[in-house]
Amino acid sequence: MKPFASRYLLLAAFSTLLVACQSKPVEEPAPVAAPDAYQQLDQNIASSELATAEDQLAALQSKNPDDPRLEQYQRQLAEAYLSRSQIVLQKGDVNAAATALSRARALMPKAPALTSGVNGAIANARKAELDKAEADLRAAEARRTAKVIDPTVESTTIKLNIADSRQLRRQLNDIAADIAAFNCEVTVQVPRTDDYPWLATLLTKRVTKINPDFELQMQREIEKTEPAQIILKPAKL
């Protein structure tokens, strides 16, 4: 009887312990405290989430206008925008640089000297862009109007068809037009000395007819192994 009683008591004790464990409430883990608004603002500035940070700053300024911390955050945000402006300008994105600079100015209206350097760099970059666009436009227009040369390259060589007088006249007409239009320096390259005078005369008459005031600059080269040709060097656009 005693062994049976011992087993019974042990089983009863185990059952009681099991019930006690099941009835004990499970403790929930303590919630992780969310960062406050100032921490979030600081994090967004550090991670270059500047638009979000600007919205957060505006909300804090509206809620706590007298908080002395806000002025420092405003300056940090302005400096971050200024840094972004410098970085994107170095990458050649002038519009993005100007946008970032305008945000820095809005945040630092009482410190214009801080943005003057970047402002000057953006102005120079915009001028360079405009100058390039204008040069490209002039070059494109020149390519449309040029007859025998490419005015964007240093020089163009035109081989003359001496054997066909009609073809030669057409060539000289086009060459003369480009000489007058693009202020070309001219080199007449011929295999024989005797070929130069009559070619030079024909070309000069045509240029003078187009523009009587044009000062034709013409040089002669004798190349016995080369066919007759004219080299045109347009003035820089």
Q: Residues with Cβ < 8 Å from 114, sequence gap 6 or more? A: 78, 79, 82, 104, 108
More confident residue, 59 or 126: 59
Per-residue pLDDT reduced to its tens digit, 170-223: 999 999 999 999 999 999 999 999 999 999 999 999 999 999 999 998 999 999
Q: 13 — phi, psi (to 5°)?
A: -65, -40
Contact 217, 203 (CB under 8 A): no
User: From CA 232, how far away is CA 149, in angstroms rounded?
Assistant: 8
Average pLDDT across the chain, whole number: 82
Helix axes 50-63, 94-107, angle to 10 degrees: 20
Measured distance CA(230)–CA(142) in Å, rounded: 20
Confidence tier at 43 by pLDDT (50, 70, 90): very high
DSSP 152: T
pLDDT band of residue 97 (cuts 50, 70, 90) is: confident
Q: Which residue type sits at 39?
A: Q
DSSP state of 185: E
Closest by alpha carbon to 232, among 128, 152, 125? Answer: 152
Q: How is residue 27 annotated by DSSP?
A: P
For 13-36, the pLDDT digits (tens) are 444 544 444 544 545 544 433 458
